[in-house]
Structure 1
Amino acid sequence: MDKMTHLKFNLNNFLFAISDALDFIHMKNLHGISFNSKRIAYIALKIATLNEMPKEFLSDLLSYSLIAHNPELKTNLEAIPFNNITNIQREEAAKILAIASFFELQIAMENNFISNREQLIETFECKDCFDEIYTENLLYLMEYDSFWFDLTNIQSLPFKILDMIDDFTFEYSYDNLISFTKLFNSIYYEHTQRTPSGCIEDKLRVVAQYYNFDQKDTSRLIISGHLAYLGFLLLPKEIYTNITLNSSHEIKSIPYNTKEILTRVFGFDDIVILASIYNENIDGSGYPYKKEGNQLSLKFRVFTIIYRLQALLEERNYRKSFSVDESFEILKKEAQAGLLDITLLKDIENLMHN
């Protein structure tokens, strides 16, 4: 494997890491219960296992269960590295996911226990709109108390799921990972109702070339730019349409949330750090970690400037976008106050004007 162009990647590991963020932005079910894609995945895998589906199919079914509820990801399946995309295009996958998703839509909970067991059993005994075999499988599973307890044991549920699948880690090109992670930019803009001016990827490519970053560093810088927005998904969208002093603590939690999400992804060590330091200042006054200048390398300093530039260029509900010139004037004031590297800022300003 050429480590400049490829990395080891496990799709289900990545999707597990981000699943809480994707679940948070999904609507609650009919009983006001927060959506949980892992419950859907667990049910789907249990049914598929009872039908002795191949291991590769199980792995892809898990991946699809974790993202099928998100419109942006569901409409861009070709950008997602399944083992074999035909697995999720099979009629069996659609039928299994339909019954598992309907179950998630119907559950009611009280004191962390599913409180409408009998109603759910009656519902599926009477339902003839789902595949007959898969319905029988689900009714069989519902006979076991352990099935119900697993669904509400949020801490151990991921381990129960992973016990049903094999490890399909593979070599993945950075180019393809960049295309995949770019989808999360669109999810961010949809959730926050902000409008971008250009994409952060283009800006990062320009500065990476200027500072002679190698291919690997450039790719990981761009991936960090795409994934730095994940923490935004763990806050209600209302916060982004009505920024107040009362929401400042929530806003400050965003880079922390991003780090907590990405820490779970294998092989993303430097991406985790890059994607969560954009509000750090070189004088140590930033957040959430108050990193000092000697802890912030060239990559971190460049990333911070580009991220803030991208933010200023966004149009938001409570303000219009700043022009490029206006944005750099704001950033210069931050640099003069000792927050940003003034030399790098001047370089980047020249690059953005050429």
Structure 2
Amino acid sequence: MKFNLNSFLLATSTALDHAEEEIMHITTHHSKRCAYISLRIGLELNLSKEECFDLCSLALMHDNGITQAFYDQNCLEAGEKKNLEILEKLVDHCKIGEQNVRKFPFLTSPKNIILHHHEYLDGSGLYGLEGDKIPIMSQIICFADDIDMKFNLLDSSISALNGIKTFAKDNKETLYYEEIVDAFLRLSSKISFWRDLNDENILSSVEKYLPVIDSTIELKDLLSISSVFSNIIDAKSKFTALHSNELTSKAAKVTEYFGWDEQKSVFFQVAANLHDIGKLSTPRIILEKNGPLTKGEFERVKEHAYLTHMILKAIEGFEQIHDWASAHHERNDGSGYPFGLKAKELSFESKILAALDMYQALVETRPYRKALPHDEAIEILYDQVPKNLFEEEIVDLIAAIFEEEALV
């Protein structure tokens, strides 16, 4: 199938920005600014179209391992003030990030770029690599990351810009390759470069310079790509550590039950993989709250479905996937969210995914209860039928498909 990688990357980077914003207390659009600076430097250095595309892709995803590393290390409790220096020094976020992107369909087969995106020429980076042992893409992303983290790039006053340029010059050939710094200094002499970094311009700025890549990929590869992001989503909380992956596994069994063709089957599984991508914006302290949510907290949780809608809507070719995934909290009577759609406005597939999502949540441990056995979860689903939330035939099929699995 034809697949527009550009729209997929730019759309999903919004979710990664939300996750990074909560953990690292940085401003929004960090990944896009890193991608823009990296891409412009790559073009300035005359990297090939394919290399520039991969460089931009890697820059957009450079911190994709932060969420899992933060949880695995347990270095800070949710809700406490986050220590950026500690997080940036977590070697694990580089390892996890590199592992996560290995299934991504890069054009030039880049290796260990994310793994080494915190390396400096003098060997003072996380892995102590020196000089030309550091991949050029890693160094470009490291430079762009440092510039955005150390300075407010939205301040384009003369004094602010001079400070950034002075930092770049002072660290040329010490921390960063000479050609990277020189390319940046040439670009930074134009006011348009700085205006492109503004919040209102950054998305269109990346799109403007990013080479257009319409890839033809196998359907199974699309599933692999989406699993990259489901892993990042699930790492948000220990209570959802397998939620998207388990839902996708159950979605696959539903497609087998109906005998759907390969494309519809893969699309349904991708929708399951990405249904909670908007949850990367939900604070972990809410996801792991051991007790009832306040009205305000529940409203914050509900926002994730709308963000899933906005992210997936922006991806070319994802129309069906978007419709199924973004409706996973809609209910037949119109009481669901984010749009309050009613039964006649919901597809059969959307209704199945919504009920399946609730079933999966019930059989998982949550901070306020233990995982429920299959029979109890199904009983709760049947309780929704007379309330006009789910249709009986859909609950019937979920009960039938997973009863045998529950006995194993």
By the TM > 0.5 criterion, same fold? yes
- Aligned residue type for 2:141: L
- CA drift of 1:113 comes to 6.8
2:112 equivalent to 1:96: no
Question: CA RMSD of the aligned region, Å?
Answer: 2.4
What is the DSSP-based 3-state SS (H/G/I as helix, E as strand, rest coil) of the residue aligned with 1:147? helix
CA distance, structure 1, for counterparts of residue 22 and residue 235 of structure 2: 18
- Give the match for residue 196 of structure 2: 150
- Give the match for residue 4 of structure 2: 10
Residue pair 1:109, 1:115 contacting (<8 A) in 2 also: no
- CA drift of 1:112 comes to 8.3
CA distance, structure 2, for counterparts of residue 114 and residue 256 of structure 1: 39
2:97 equivalent to 1:47: no
Residue pair 1:43, 1:100 contacting (<8 A) in 2 also: yes
What is the DSSP-based 3-state SS (H/G/I as helix, E as strand, rest coil) of the residue aligned with 1:275? helix
Equivalent of 1:293 in 330, 343, 346: 343
What is the DSSP-based 3-state SS (H/G/I as helix, E as strand, rest coil) of the residue aligned with 1:68? coil
- Aligned residue type for 1:15: L
- Aligned residue type for 2:135: E
Deviates more, 1:62-71 or 1:232-241: 232-241
Equivalent of 1:134 in 146, 157, 180: 180
Residue pair 2:153, 2:194 contacting (<8 A) in 1 also: no
Aligned length: 347
- Aligned residue type for 1:123: F
Relative to structure 1, the CA distance from residue 110 to residue 208 in structure 2 (aligned partners, 3 Å threshold; closer, same or farther) is closer
Deviates more, 1:278-287 or 1:41-50: 278-287
Relative to structure 1, the CA distance from residue 29 to residue 124 in structure 2 (aligned partners, 3 Å threshold; closer, same or farther) is farther
Equivalent of 1:229 in 252, 269, 276: 276
Relative to structure 1, the CA distance from residue 29 to residue 312 in structure 2 (aligned partners, 3 Å threshold; closer, same or farther) is closer
CA distance, structure 2, for counterparts of residue 246 and residue 189 of structure 1: 23
CA distance, structure 2, for counterparts of residue 29 and residue 327 of structure 1: 33
Equivalent of 2:320 in 257, 266, 270: 270
- CA drift of 1:32 comes to 4.8
Deviates more, 1:304-313 or 1:134-143: 134-143
CA distance, structure 2, for counterparts of residue 229 and residue 113 of structure 1: 40
CA distance, structure 2, for counterparts of residue 115 and residue 176 of structure 1: 48
- Segments of 5+ residues of structure 2 without an aligned counterpart are 66-95, 114-133
- Aligned residue type for 1:80: F
- Give the match for residue 3 of structure 1: none
Residue pair 1:191, 1:233 contacting (<8 A) in 2 also: yes
- Segments of 5+ residues of structure 1 without an aligned counterpart are 1-6
- Give the match for residue 306 of structure 1: 356
2:168 equivalent to 1:124: yes
- CA drift of 1:35 comes to 5.5
- Give the match for residue 352 of structure 1: 402
2:259 equivalent to 1:212: yes
- Aligned residue type for 1:289: F
TM-score (ref. length: structure 2): 0.79
- Aligned residue type for 1:320: K
Equivalent of 1:181 in 208, 226, 229: 226
Deviates more, 1:220-229 or 1:159-168: 159-168
Relative to structure 1, the CA distance from residue 319 to residue 58 in structure 2 (aligned partners, 3 Å threshold; closer, same or farther) is same
- Give the match for residue 105 of structure 1: 149
Relative to structure 1, the CA distance from residue 10 to residue 25 in structure 2 (aligned partners, 3 Å threshold; closer, same or farther) is same
CA distance, structure 2, for counterparts of residue 251 and residue 32 of structure 1: 21
What is the DSSP-based 3-state SS (H/G/I as helix, E as strand, rest coil) of the residue aligned with 2:385? helix
Deviations along 1:175-201, one digit per CA (max 9) or x if unpaired, are: 111122122222122113324377112
Residue pair 1:26, 1:35 contacting (<8 A) in 2 also: no
- Give the match for residue 239 of structure 1: 286
